[in-house]
Each structure stands twice: as C-alpha cells, then as structure tokens.
Amino acid sequence: MTERIIQFGSGGFLRSFADVFVHQMNEKGLFNGSVVVVQPTPNGKASLFNEQNGEFHQILRGIENGEVKAECIKVKSISRGVDPFTDYQGYLSLARQPEMRFIISNTTEAGIEYLGTESLTDAPPKSFPAKLTALLYERFKAGLPGFVILACELIDNNGKKLLECVLKYAELWNLGDDFINWLKNDNHFCSTLVDRICTGYPADEAEKIFNDIGTTDKLLNTAELFHLWVIEGDFEEEFPLKKAGVNVIWTNDVTPYKKMKVRILNGAHTSLVFPSLLAGIETVGDSLKDELAKSFLDTCLSKYIMPTLGETEEHKAFASAVLERFANPYIKHLWKSISLNSVSKYTARVLPTVLDYIKANNSLPKPLVFSLACLIEYYKTCDPTDSEDAVAFIKQNDVSAILSNSTLWGENLGFMTELINDCLEKIHTLGIREAIKWAIS
C-alpha cells in the first residue's frame, strides 16, 4: 500500500484508534494507504514496528447493546517506524514523498508546546511542534501540497494551538512570508475530539492470548469497543472513515461535542466518585453492580445532567454508551485514580450543570450538590491527591469558607452552604449509604 499518513506517536492509544480505522478502510478497499509511525521520544517503538513488519494484534472488548463482546484484529495499516533521533534525514525525507497527505498526532497533553529555544539545524528539534515545522518546511521547499493535520492531543482547540506553535517556529527561524502563507493556506490544522479507553499491553493475559493467536506480539494492545472521533473539517472523500463504519463526526465546530463528553462522561465520573469511595466501592464497574450507586448515577444523568444539556438523540445515545462503558468487565477503572485533582474536575465537569439547572429551575440539584459534599467530606477525612493548597484549605476551614473560596471553584459557591451542611449532617448521622438514598429521594 502507498504510504499516505505520517503519525507522531507510537503508543497504545493511536494504535487502538487511528491505526485500526485505517486498517478498516483498507480492508474494505476504500483507502489503500499505510501509516509511517514517527517515534516521538529517544526510547520508542520504531524498531519494534520494523521487527514485526508494522503488524500487531488489537483486542477490542466491552459491552455493546447489552451484550459482552470481544474481537481480535490483526492490524496491518502500519508500513514502518522511523526514529528521527537516529535517522533524522530519513525523517525529513517523509516530507518529500508526494503521496503523503495526512498527519496524525498524539504526543500527550504536554506535547503541543512552544519552547522557543530550538534551531532548524537541530537534528531533531526537541519539541513536537518544532519537529513538525522542520518537516513542513521540507515539504514547502519541495514544492508539494500541504497536509491535513489531525491533532488528537487531549487539550481544547488542539489543531489551532498546534498551528500557533508552528507559526511561532516559522517566525523564530525566519522561514519567510511565503512559507507562512503556505502553512496557513495549503495545510488544514484540524482540531479533533477523541474518545476510546485504551488499556494497553495485557501483561496478565499475554501468554494465553499468544497461545490463542499462535504467535508472540510485543505490540499486543487492548482497548474498549466504544470509539468516537469528532473532526473539524470534512475530508470524508479522501479519508472515508464514516464509509468504513468508523464512529466519526465531521463538523465545523468540535465545541458542542466536547461539552457533551465533559458533561455526560466526565460529569458522571466526577458525580459518582466520592459517594462511591466513601461507600467503600473501589472501581467504576463495582459501582455499576451496586444497586444504590447505580441508582445515584442514573438519577444524576436522567434528572439533572441530560435535561440541562438537552436530550437530543445524539446525547441519549452517548449517555447509553457511557453506562455500558462504565460496566465494561474488561476494564478495572479505580475510583482512586479518577479522584485525582477533583476540585478542578468538579468545577469543569459538574458545576456548569449545577448552574444551568439552577437557572432553569430556580432550585438546587440535590444529588449533584451531594456529590460536592462527599468531595468535601473525603478531602477532610481521607488522603486526597490534589494541589497542596486546595487540600490544606478544605481540611482547615468550615463549609462556608470552603464554598466562598472563588480561587477553588472559579466563583463564590456560598449559595450552596445550607444544603452542603445538610448533606454532611446526613452522612455523619445516617451513614453514607442512607445519605445517598436521601440525596436521590
């Protein structure tokens, strides 16, 4: 197959996501293109891809339409790996391949950064945007068309921020107005939203899986069945993801889909985490098996989160998928891990729903306020992982002072003081399980 995609990132997520989708397009005779994986760090997987001819096994498993499913795909969409740290000229030569059209990146949340300390002569420059700028400049000098660039990093406006960094490097390195105009006009820096839980290399199951597939595989990878890729732009004709059956949404604005994910998926996690932990429930899956915790989650979603967001068919389908994902028996998702930095998470994921509900109903959404009370109780009595200042302030102050601290919550939440105190009294006098029943009554 013709090499048509340059991929920055060799980790499990992109292998379970974009590389599987390209494989599916190829299997259906829709794309006939392969991926060259660029190793983003000095100690990466480029050599492993080359050892295995770019092939690996991807296991996808979870609950779909109420049924537990699992499938194993031998993914053949990767042609080779390139290590720019040992073969920088080989890396730059990718830009001179006329058939190359797409660039996909997932270099972690910290990957899209402008350092401003690198030079075009570095081999390679340190940051991902600097490496990309050097590659794009090579493409420009060759007189070839630009790329469709799909940034998958988990930050807002990832495509726009990547373009901003590249433009800064173009100016820093004095690459000229013609190149800057080419960057802006011949390339498409697409912001995207990605969603799939990748559970990586299954060390505990590897031996059994190798027996089942009849070979060893150092790149063996696991992930959930669910996936969603929202992309600003519409390149379906060139990159026929939807036609291949991929759950892709081409749009001119990722924002409403980001809001959907944050309010429903992340909001459900953050609403349920501390009631679950205080009740001694360790994992998301265990909460879905616990009748009371499941009832609390259902109430938060059906009576508060969904009505304030808007109960469209798209939102209903996503919420239904979220419940199946939470119950996935193949994923042990610890509440303790989800609880990290929960002050900022509550502010971003749940508080907007609380405020929208108050605006629409002129009353407080008791279960969502109860989840904040549980956060405060956990921070006061347990050992949370959050900023030292936030933890110390919550431990040392009363409810009124905690809620009035706009540095913590982005605004003064003093209007919740009476209900939060009622919630805490119920937790202390009735115990957490009876208090949960009271919160959803």
CB atoms within 10 A of CB 351: 19
> What is the model's pLDDT at position 385?
94
Domains and CATH numbers, the chain: 2-253 (3.40.50.720), 256-439 (1.10.1040.10)
- Give the rounded percent of residues in the chain with a pLDDT score beyond 70: 100
> What is the model's pLDDT at position 41?
85
Q: What distance in Å separates the CA atoms of residue 39 and residue 50, rounded to the nearest whole number?
A: 12
> What is the model's pLDDT at position 151?
97
Count Cα atoms within 13 angstroms, Cβ side, for 295: 11
At 284, the pLDDT band (50, 70, 90 cuts) reads: very high
What DSSP designation does 300 have?
A: I
Reduced to 3 states, what is the DSSP secondary structure of residue 70?
strand
DSSP state string for 341-366? THHHHHHHHTHHHHHHHHHHHSS--H
C-beta of residue 227 within 8 angstroms of C-beta of residue 195:
yes
C-beta of residue 371 within 8 angstroms of C-beta of residue 272:
yes
Q: What angle do CA 32, 54, 143 make, to 5 degrees?
A: 55
Q: Is the pLDDT of residue 44 over 90?
A: no
C-beta of residue 19 within 8 angstroms of C-beta of residue 78:
yes
Q: Span 82-94, mean pLDDT? A: 97
Q: Span 105-114, mean pLDDT? A: 90
Backbone angles phi, psi at 369, to 5 degrees: -70, -35
Evaluated on CA atoms 261, 264, 266, 267, the torsion sign reads positive
Candidates 192, 259, 263, 260; CA nearest to 230 is 192
Q: What distance in Å separates the CA atoms of residue 255 and residue 337, rounded to the nearest whole number?
A: 27
> What is the model's pLDDT at position 215?
96
Count Cα atoms within 13 angstroms, Cβ side, for 198: 18
